[in-house]
Amino acid sequence: MSSIVTEQGLLHYETIGRGQPVILLHGWINSWAVWRDLMLTLSKTGQYRVYALDFWGFGDSSKATRGKTPTFQINSYVNMVTQFMERLGIQRAPIVGHSMGGTVALQFALTYPQQTTRVGIVGSPITGRTLHPFLQLAGYGSIARLIWRFPFMLHIIMRILLAQDSPEVRGMISQDVQRTTLESFFRSIGDLRDTDLRETLPNLNMPALGIFGARDNIVSPQNAETLVEKVPGAQIRMMTRSRHFPMSDEPAHFVSAVMDFLDSGNGRPPHHRANGLPILRPSET
């Protein structure tokens, strides 16, 4: 377990491997652990040193708010990644994010293109209005407080949203939500709901990858169309048997997609497409 002290509090992260730095960002009411299998696989190549961060308010990072700047919002998480890279001396790196973490990754790449070599998103909303209606409602303080007051309501909502997910996914979310506070719960999803990157996305001038589950009921997979429309040349991997957690639903295909994307940035040929999962170009989506 590793951590640094930031302006807003403790930032927990996990790291493994040696080589080029890669930064991974998790989603809402989640933690770094969603990346565990990918981290192990990347580290075994001997090419990458992988860092998986816990956002403030989630996982083992600080739950308290410091200073005048709102902590649990997309832009504050962009600032968190900036502080992390500065403290560890990471000048440039690929950044990959899942769900809310992918939205943060896109915003970081747009704000700090000189520090981002390539950006990947996994089931991430480019516009927050593509979130499931239950998640959009959770961003309102009055509704969030009601859910927090009667925990069975949150369990019912999670049961509906995750009914068809694996026991591993349900167990992971159940554990992570217990380490989330009311404030980080509703402020982060509320800010994500009101986020819309469609106008600024054409300014993205680096390789981009979007991985989406065709059966995702939490974030609409139609965000894939938005990505290729706004970012010419963006690659899309549509996981046909996946929901919101393709790293769990189709682990081999997921790892292949990420490794191909990272390897292509180092001039190495993709060695991981033997599983038959195609890369979809904009004209094929």
Tokens of 164: 């068809």
Distance CA 266, CA 262 (A): 7
Tokens 């809310």 label which residue? 100
Query: Would you write out the chain's pLDDT as a tens digit for each of its 285 residues?
Result: 799 998 888 999 999 999 999 999 999 999 999 999 999 999 999 999 999 999 999 999 998 766 555 689 999 999 999 999 999 999 999 999 999 999 999 999 999 999 999 999 999 999 999 999 988 888 888 888 887 777 777 777 777 778 788 888 888 888 888 888 888 888 899 999 999 999 999 999 999 999 999 999 999 999 999 999 999 899 999 999 999 999 999 999 999 999 999 998 665 555 444 333 444 433 343
Q: Cα-flanking dihedrals φ and ψ of residue 129, to 5°?
A: -75, 0
Q: In what order do the strands lie in the sheet with 48-53?
A: 2-6, 9-17, 48-53, 20-25, 93-98, 116-122, 208-213, 235-239
**Cα-Cα-Cα-Cα dihedral sign, residues 234, 32, 244, 64:** negative
3-state secondary structure of 88: helix
Structure tokens at 269: 């040929």
Q: Which residues contact 136 (CB under 8 A, 6 or more apart)?
A: 128, 129, 189, 193
Fold for the domain defined by 2-284: Rossmann fold (3.40.50)
Q: Which 8-state DSSP code applies to residue 99?
A: T
Whether the model pTM is above 0.85: yes
Q: Report the Cα–Cα distance between both ends of the chain, in Å, rounded.
A: 41
Dihedral of CA 184/178/120/195: which sign? negative
